[in-house]
Amino acid sequence: MSKRPRTLDSFFSLPPAKRPRDGAIQNQQTQGNSSENDVNDHETGSAQASMHATYPFAIPHLPPGITDILNFAPATEGRIIRDQPDLDLVYYQPYVPKEVQRDLYEYLRRELFFYRVKYMIKRGPTDTLINTPRFTTVFGLDVTSGFGSDGQCIDATSGKPVAKGAYKCQPRPIPECLDRLRTLTENATGCKFNFALVNYYASGDDSISYHSDDEKFLGVEPAIASFTLGAKRDFLMRHKPTPAGHISETKPLKLPLASGDMVLMKGLTQSKWLHSIPKRKGGEADKGRINITFRQAMVKGGTENYYRYNVGEGEVYKWDGSRREMAPWRKD
């Protein structure tokens, strides 16, 4: 009998949020699944950790001190922004409660593994090497597949293991520390997500140029939830060029994203608007920023794309607390 696929929604079971009694937050312990993906990790000091064959090391579950408060996100009601053509945003200032913004930022920076991806692109007849100007990592799997109890990819329709070679990359499940936030975000927004992309901007020199997340593998009018933790950075948006007379006046938009803020981009936003995080010299930008985006890939091509450009084939980086920087990780 074939194994039933487990979707990312159920890969880690999450307890329902509890309301505080007498002004105190109820202590909760994240309940992991009893499989190879949840292990006791004495080295990290966490009772439970997420592990998968594709992880270079185990990722501890969020400690109760963070999950207790995070369960009450969003901290504020989202502000709807639709005052320009084709724009459909919900802006939370903040989404993550203030009490855990710093702890969550430092926890994710310390416990996740990252990459500094390089890849080749063709510009006309010339091959050009691109060095990604930030640290990246990614977790997830498109809707055509899920993860079995043993961690392998299972076809979502047949329930059978995905054929060898169906994916050129090595998909990996979203760890509990990100999956909890993903689930809370789905509950608050009504959107579905199966990928978590994480960027670490080490300083104001790290950036991302104007682009839109309008790839076909995201489907029609995709919803993307984008979180900021750490340093405040400007989030710039501008309408894509259009033939003269087709669009009434549009103005560039600048959102000063602070720690804990979240922007939900949906509707025509990705197909009609561009967004970027520009370089910023000195000041708060040099303190470091983590950006988490949740999105939903509909086909295998989306999975291939995300792992190619956010993992690549380079070395693993991990936060070095003594050096206060990302450093190449070496297995002991």
Burial of 95 (0-12, 13-18, 19+ CB in 10 A): buried
Count of domains for the chain? 1
Is 295 annotated as belonging to a binding site?
Answer: yes
Structure tokens at 287: 């303190």
Is 303 annotated as belonging to a binding site?
Answer: no
Q: Domain range for residue 280?
A: 8-315
Alpha carbons 210 and 277: distance in angstroms, whole number: 8
- Domain-located, residue 327: no
| 20-66 residue pLDDT tens | 333 332 222 233 333 345 554 434 444 699 999 999 999 999 999 99
Is 109 annotated as belonging to a binding site?
Answer: no
- Domain-located, residue 114: yes
Is 199 annotated as belonging to a binding site?
Answer: yes
- Domain-located, residue 332: no
| 276-317 residue pLDDT tens | 999 998 888 899 999 999 999 999 999 999 999 999 888 999
Is 27 annotated as belonging to a binding site?
Answer: no
Which pLDDT score is estimated for 249?
81
- Domain-located, residue 325: no
Read off the CATH number of the domain in which 306 is found. 2.60.120.590
pLDDT of residue 154 exceeding 50, the answer is yes
Is 246 annotated as belonging to a binding site?
Answer: no
Is 214 annotated as belonging to a binding site?
Answer: yes
Please indicate whether residue 265 or residue 9 has the higher confidence score (pLDDT): 265
- Domain-located, residue 176: yes
Is 317 annotated as belonging to a binding site?
Answer: no
DSSP string, 208-228: EEEE----GGG-SS--EEEEE
